A and B are shown apart, each in its own frame.
Chain A
Amino acid sequence: MNLIKLKIFLLIFGFCFVPTTSWALLAEHLNYNGCDTCHNLHGGYVLFGALLNQETSEATCLMCHGPLSVATEAAIHGTSGQITCLECHNPHNNDDPNILGGNNILLLGMEYDSNDTDGSRSALDTPQIREETGSGLGPLKEVVFEVTPDDWHRPSDSYGVCNACHTGIHNEGNDCRGCHTHSGGFAGAGCTGCHDGNGAGALAVSVHSPHSTNTIFNSIGVTYTCENCHTAHEAGNIQIPNNTTVGILYNSSGHNGISLGADDGNPNDAVGTTEAEICWNCHDQNGDGVLSEADGDISEWEINSDSNGSANNYDFGSLSAREWVNAGGTTGATWTSANFSYKTAAIQSTHSVNPYNSATLPGLDPVAFIRCSYCHDVHDANILASDNSSGKPYLRGTWMGNPYREDGAPFAGQTYVAQGEFGLVPRGGVGATELGGYQIDQNNGNPTSTWDLYNSAGLCIVCHTDNIDSMNYFDVDESGVAELPADSWVGTNGHSNAVLGGTGSSAANIFREDWRKPNDGYCSPSSASNGYCAGSPNMAYQHLILSARGFGFRGGAATDGEGFYVEPSLGSQPYAYGDYNWGASVDELTIDDQYHQFSCSKCHNPHASRLPRLMMTNCLDVVHNTWDDAPTTMLRGDVITISGASTSGAQGCSTDVNGSHTVDYFDLSSSSIVISDSFTGGCNRQDITLTWQGDPYALTSVDFVAPDKISLNAPEDLEDNFIGKIVPSAGSINGAGTIVYPVGTDNSEVTISRATSAQNCHRYIDWNNDGDAADLDEQPGWNTVTPW
């Protein structure tokens, strides 16, 4: 075609196809290559009569606007031809500028949409578009692009460009292109399009947490994405509410938290109806329903993440199920200690960490109330100002795990190394490191010497504050009954003198004589009849009246009456108090301020516990804190059998006396065993037999005490075996109540724990279970709420 013909053609072409109003080309297109930028007179494709370089308008645009090309990158939205570039753009010009200040985005809509031939375009007064699907054309929808730059999604009238077809609740009112880029065809950018390691505030998703990267599943060749826990546009079924205290704050665009729950069919999705289940879903990697480190789970039980450096790593025991409690929070899973079988029992307290609208009482919480994310910064984003912690286990503050060995009762079969004059006993001195005995700073190498409250429990004080002295989070007990902080304790709140951060305001001298010997100079009245009260030394007591004696620190030579013939022989010094090396001041006046420097983690399990109040230990385990290498000590809770009782004749026993019963407590004043049941009366006969551990004992009498209690008066041979009794087998109590000791005999059946109870510094003995320690032979102690 020669030049003349070309010019003629162009003239005619322009007359025929250029609208009567003159257009000026967009400068960018004009300056590129004029009309030839998009049109091809030779071999062009006819579209609406226009000769394009490519067979579709989209392909023409993508010449320069496609990936890796030379102009601003764009991609079509949807399937090719479904929504053409011309739906929104006029590549030529328009007399009316758009709100972005340009004249390129005009929402021509149907006007140049080759797919939409239904209806008269010229009849449209306002820009309208139509959803185009494989099954046909949807209704016309008016769109607005003239008000503000944020009108991509207009919740007020749905005229936004995006919400003309789409609904969404994420970031309403904002420019959708923040995540749905034109270069990406307006497809979703995925979570990390905005929430990435370079974000700030709520957009921050740290690269340090496996929850933010693909490291969780990468090792097994599976791609892990945010969408495995979250859904786009907050469609998840589980809402994690905001908690500004811990640094969770999603409140833009009407949000009030963040959602979980992503069951869209991907096998990697974490499913569940509660937040805790979402976490347990993945942390139970082998899917056996039990979280166990041993089979590869990331678990809060057993020896989990080392969070205290070189200190001892505590074994948190094991749980019978993945869930701490049942859904309703009424029944706890069974917990088992790593070292002490007697502790096995159900969980009694859980840490929901969720005081908002849910956890208002101590005790068990429903699974739905448990907020793992309130303590665990799963994305390691460190949004909370005080949160400088990173790495496993991804917490929102500092936490140093329990550096002490597990507390527990001394137990038969354990070998205890002799500690000075105290001999082969547990807790004989700071060198006592065996399991079975209490673990405090002095016999654990002072593991918290470099710790303080803030570097060991910064996470705890986010919610619990740093007022350690009166720390008691709930003002009510497990039944909802109001209580003062001190009500959980015997006496005063014990935190002040036992915990890092305490001021010692409630410190007391546990060796103070009148506190430990409430009745007389050195012995309780009943014990006075025993003579020297060698078995009732209370708390680490040194007899101050008779200063040459140490009734609590009693070791003793085998031949020395003062030593009560306790085996093994401790040498020539009968008064072992001289070997007391725990460092406390044993005198009448000194208060050892801050003697204990326990971390929060020493006593509390941050997740759930077998004891109330998330306790892991009980300094006053009165049932188990004694120790006796004589296996025949009767204990509270033992089962006995009564036989021979009859309702007939003079015996006059109630029919319910015979049979198996559980020992409730011992009444030392009457040398009786008290059992509780629904009794209607006692007996007066003396031919009633008590069988215990297979051995029969003839009871002297059975007395009716109350409708639920009877007292079994024990013969001396059984009396010897009462817990806490110290009557030597080779001795006897005479009529005046004086112990007569034969010379040359040993005391191998003596309850040694009482004889050497100097090591039981805090004792609480409530023989009659009336809730105090003020009765005869009872002894005050410390904590009341944590019975095993």
Chain B
Amino acid sequence: MSIRRIFQLFVLLTTALLLVNCSDGSGGGTVETTNPPEPSEPLSLLSPARVEALPTGDLVVSDYTENKFCLLDKNSLEITMCFAAKGQPTGVVYTENDGGLYFVGNRSVCSVDVFDAQGQFIYHLGGTTGVFKSVNDLAVDSDARVVYVLDTKAKVVRLFNFNGTDTGLTIGAGILNQPTALTIDAGASSLFVSDYGDPTVPASPSVKGFDLVTRTQNYALPGGSSRFSSPQGIWVDNGNVFLVDVLSGEVQVWRQSDNTRIAVLGQIGSELGELMYPLDVLVDSTSKDVFVADNRNGRITVFRGGGIFP
């Protein structure tokens, strides 16, 4: 054995002693998932990306690689209907206005496509494709008849009317760095955006909150080492911020008032209760079930009662 090789082994051993695993993997509630997809089965998910609640309480999920979006029974986790998207769907939101409309972000052609309640395409926001640089997520305010479009590469949230016209208003310009997802807390009249941040600044991953009326920033949840590094899907329920950290495979729960992490749901893996590249999270306001778009595992994972905290 060469001297060089002996030295390598020594360093490895030393390094190993210095390593500390920061994961604590706390979590709560019972865990369920959707059935794994079968070959050629039309009503199954292969790449769930974003999940949103419907007025009925059920869910709508975008299936990223399969170019479709599907309706999901929140209790049985059975998929009841799928509609063909016009490209790779990202965010998908629904409003009961105008007979029912689905707004679907389209990564393939950089558009937001509008479908009727039967899944028939009607029009694009902005009237055509290529209106955006990169649509990562959507949120909707049915009362104001506004769609919030997160354009990751443009580093801004753009506001569009239901009829497809651009309001000209934006949120987060000059503030957002690498935004990935957003959500609206209607009760707080706030918009929350998860942001990978400035990569040259170690602690820059964050969640930023904006007032819907003034469109100014009113909240920040810093990330970084030992917190979160790759924030994606986000949901706010009862003053708690549910944040998906993609690469740790966790859903982290942060108390908004003091930015204290109060819980972690899941950990990286493919077993029951584990998450592999999760991309979105949603909390049912009544049951406090936490639904997660478990992208690499190709399933929706639900932590029953996972959003209940003392």
Name A's B-contacting residues (CB within 8 A).
1, 5, 9, 12-13, 15-17, 31-33, 36-37, 42-44, 46, 49, 51, 53-55, 59, 62-63, 66-70, 75, 80, 184-185, 187, 214, 222-223, 265-266
Given contacts A54-B247, A184-B65, contact A67 B199 (CB under 8 A): no
Write the B132-151 contact mask toward A (1 if CB under 8 angstroms, else 0). 00001100000000000000
Closest to B81 in A: A221
Query: Can you offer 11 A-B residue contacts whose CB atoms are under 8 A?
Result: A1-B18, A17-B8, A32-B200, A33-B199, A43-B19, A43-B22, A49-B12, A55-B268, A63-B230, A63-B246, A67-B47
Contacts of A33 on B, CB cut-off 8 Å? 199-200, 202
Q: How far is the CA of A139 from the CA of B252 in the complex (A)?
A: 45
Contacts of B202 on A, CB cut-off 8 Å? 33, 36
B97 at the interface (CB under 8 A from A): no
Q: How far is the CA of A187 from the CA of B66 in the complex (A)?
A: 11
Contacts of B42 on A, CB cut-off 8 Å? 222-223
Write the B255-273 contact mask toward A (1 if CB under 8 angstroms, else 0). 0000000000000100000
Residue from A15, A37, A43, A53 in contact with B21 in the complex, judged by beta carbons closer than 8 Å: A43
B279 at the interface (CB under 8 A from A): yes
Q: How far is the CA of A66 from the CA of B232 in the complex (A)?
A: 11
Closest to A37 in B: B199
Closest to B180 in A: A68
Closest to B270 in A: A80
User: How far does the Cβ of A210 sit from chain B's closest Cβ, in whole Å?
Assistant: 14
User: How far does the Cβ of B268 sit from chain A's closest Cβ, in whole Å?
Assistant: 8
Contacts of B196 on A, CB cut-off 8 Å? 69-70
Contacts of B152 on A, CB cut-off 8 Å? 68, 70
Residue from A68, A214, A266 in contact with B49 in the complex, judged by beta carbons closer than 8 Å: A68
B301 at the interface (CB under 8 A from A): no
Query: Could you tell me if B11 and A12 are in contact, using CB atoms closer than 8 angstroms?
Result: yes
Given contacts A66-B277, A70-B152, A222-B42, contact A16 B11 (CB under 8 A): yes
Which of A42, A46, A265 has the most chain B CB within a 10 Å cutoff? A42
Query: Could you tell me if B225 and A42 are in contact, using CB atoms closer than 8 angstroms?
Result: yes
Query: Could you tell me if A16 and B8 are in contact, using CB atoms closer than 8 angstroms?
Result: yes
Write the B218-239 contact mask toward A (1 if CB under 8 angstroms, else 0). 0000000100011010000000
Query: Could you tell me if B136 and A68 are in contact, using CB atoms closer than 8 angstroms?
Result: yes
Contacts of A46 on B, CB cut-off 8 Å? 12
Which of B19, B65, B268 has the most chain A CB within a 10 Å cutoff? B19
Q: How far is the CA of A37 from the CA of B247 in the complex (A)?
A: 13
Q: How far is the CA of A9 from the CA of B18 in the complex (A)?
A: 11
Q: How far is the CA of A68 from the CA of B42 in the complex (A)?
A: 24
Query: Could you tell me if B200 and A67 are in contact, using CB atoms closer than 8 angstroms?
Result: no
Contacts of B136 on A, CB cut-off 8 Å? 68
Closest to B295 in A: A67
A interface, over-half SS: loop
Write the B188-199 contact mask toward A (1 if CB under 8 angstroms, else 0). 000000001001
Q: How far is the CA of A182 from the CA of B12 in the complex (A)?
A: 35
Which of B15, B64, B107, B279 has the most chain A CB within a 10 Å cutoff? B15
Q: How far is the CA of A16 from the CA of B12 in the complex (A)?
A: 10
Query: Could you tell me if A13 and B47 are in contact, using CB atoms closer than 8 angstroms?
Result: no
Q: How far is the CA of A17 from the CA of B11 in the complex (A)?
A: 10
User: In which size bucket is the chain B interface?
Assistant: 35 or more
Q: How far is the CA of A662 from the CA of B11 in the complex (A)?
A: 112
Name B's A-contacting residues (CB within 8 A).
4, 7-8, 11-12, 14-15, 18-23, 40, 42, 47, 49, 64-65, 82, 84, 90, 107, 136-137, 152, 178, 180-181, 196, 199-200, 202, 225, 229-230, 232, 246-247, 268, 277, 279, 295-296
Q: How far is the CA of A543 from the CA of B137 in the complex (A)?
A: 90
User: How far does the Cβ of B89 sit from chain A's closest Cβ, in whole Å?
Assistant: 11
Apart from the given pairs A69-B196, A222-B42, 9 other A-B contacts in the complex at a CB distance below 8 Å: A5-B18, A32-B199, A36-B202, A42-B225, A53-B229, A54-B247, A66-B246, A68-B279, A69-B230
Query: Could you tell me if B22 and A67 are in contact, using CB atoms closer than 8 angstroms?
Result: no
Q: How far is the CA of A67 from the CA of B87 in the complex (A)?
A: 14
Contacts of A59 on B, CB cut-off 8 Å? 247, 277
Contacts of A53 on B, CB cut-off 8 Å? 229, 247
Contacts of A15 on B, CB cut-off 8 Å? 7
Closest to B277 in A: A66
Contacts of B225 on A, CB cut-off 8 Å? 42
Query: Could you tell me if A70 and B180 are in contact, using CB atoms closer than 8 angstroms?
Result: yes
User: How far does the Cβ of B13 sit from chain A's closest Cβ, in whole Å?
Assistant: 12
Contacts of B137 on A, CB cut-off 8 Å? 68
Q: How far is the CA of A197 from the CA of B113 in the complex (A)?
A: 16
Contacts of A44 on B, CB cut-off 8 Å? 19
Contacts of B107 on A, CB cut-off 8 Å? 68
User: How far does the Cβ of A70 sit from chain B's closest Cβ, in whole Å?
Assistant: 4
Given contacts A16-B11, A43-B21, A187-B65, contact A63 B199 (CB under 8 A): no
User: How far does the Cβ of A275 sit from chain B's closest Cβ, in whole Å?
Assistant: 25
Contacts of B47 on A, CB cut-off 8 Å? 67
Q: How far is the CA of A132 from the CA of B189 in the complex (A)?
A: 53
Q: How far is the CA of A54 from the CA of B276 in the complex (A)?
A: 12
Contacts of B23 on A, CB cut-off 8 Å? 43
Contacts of B180 on A, CB cut-off 8 Å? 68-70
Given contacts A67-B279, A70-B152, contact A42 B199 (CB under 8 A): no
Q: How far is the CA of A36 from the CA of B21 in the complex (A)?
A: 17
Query: Could you tell me if A42 and B20 are in contact, using CB atoms closer than 8 angstroms?
Result: yes
Query: Could you tell me if A13 and B49 are in contact, using CB atoms closer than 8 angstroms?
Result: no
Q: How far is the CA of A32 from the CA of B230 in the complex (A)?
A: 14
Q: How far is the CA of A598 from the CA of B233 in the complex (A)?
A: 68
Contacts of B18 on A, CB cut-off 8 Å? 1, 5, 9
Contacts of B15 on A, CB cut-off 8 Å? 9, 13, 51
Closest to A75 in B: B65
Q: How far is the CA of A31 from the CA of B201 in the complex (A)?
A: 11
Residue from A17, A69, A266 in contact with B40 in the complex, judged by beta carbons closer than 8 Å: A266
Query: Could you tell me if B199 and A62 are in contact, using CB atoms closer than 8 angstroms?
Result: no
Query: Could you tell me if B20 and A43 are in contact, using CB atoms closer than 8 angstroms?
Result: yes
Contacts of A66 on B, CB cut-off 8 Å? 246, 277
Query: Could you tell me if B232 and A68 are in contact, using CB atoms closer than 8 angstroms?
Result: yes
Residue from B22, B64, B277 in contact with A62 in the complex, judged by beta carbons closer than 8 Å: B277
User: How far does the Cβ of B110 sit from chain A's closest Cβ, in whole Å?
Assistant: 13
Which of A62, A70, A187 has the most chain B CB within a 10 Å cutoff? A70
Closest to A9 in B: B15
Closest to A17 in B: B8
User: How far does the Cβ of B192 sit from chain A's closest Cβ, in whole Å?
Assistant: 16
Contacts of B178 on A, CB cut-off 8 Å? 70
Which of A12, A17, A37, A266 has the most chain B CB within a 10 Å cutoff? A12
Given contacts A37-B199, A62-B277, contact A67 B247 (CB under 8 A): no
Contacts of A80 on B, CB cut-off 8 Å? 296
Contacts of A187 on B, CB cut-off 8 Å? 65
User: How far does the Cβ of B51 sit from chain A's closest Cβ, in whole Å?
Assistant: 13
User: How far does the Cβ of A181 sit from chain B's closest Cβ, in whole Å?
Assistant: 10
Q: Closest 8 CB pairs between A and B?
A: A70-B178, A32-B199, A33-B199, A16-B8, A223-B42, A12-B11, A70-B196, A63-B247
User: How far does the Cβ of B251 sit from chain A's closest Cβ, in whole Å?
Assistant: 16
User: How far does the Cβ of B197 sit from chain A's closest Cβ, in whole Å?
Assistant: 10
Contacts of A70 on B, CB cut-off 8 Å? 152, 178, 180, 196
Q: How far is the CA of A15 from the CA of B10 in the complex (A)?
A: 13
Which of A9, A55, A66 has the most chain B CB within a 10 Å cutoff? A66
User: How far does the Cβ of B264 sit from chain A's closest Cβ, in whole Å?
Assistant: 15
Q: How far is the CA of A46 from the CA of B12 in the complex (A)?
A: 10
Query: Could you tell me if B64 and A67 are in contact, using CB atoms closer than 8 angstroms?
Result: yes
Given contacts A42-B19, A43-B22, contact A13 B11 (CB under 8 A): yes
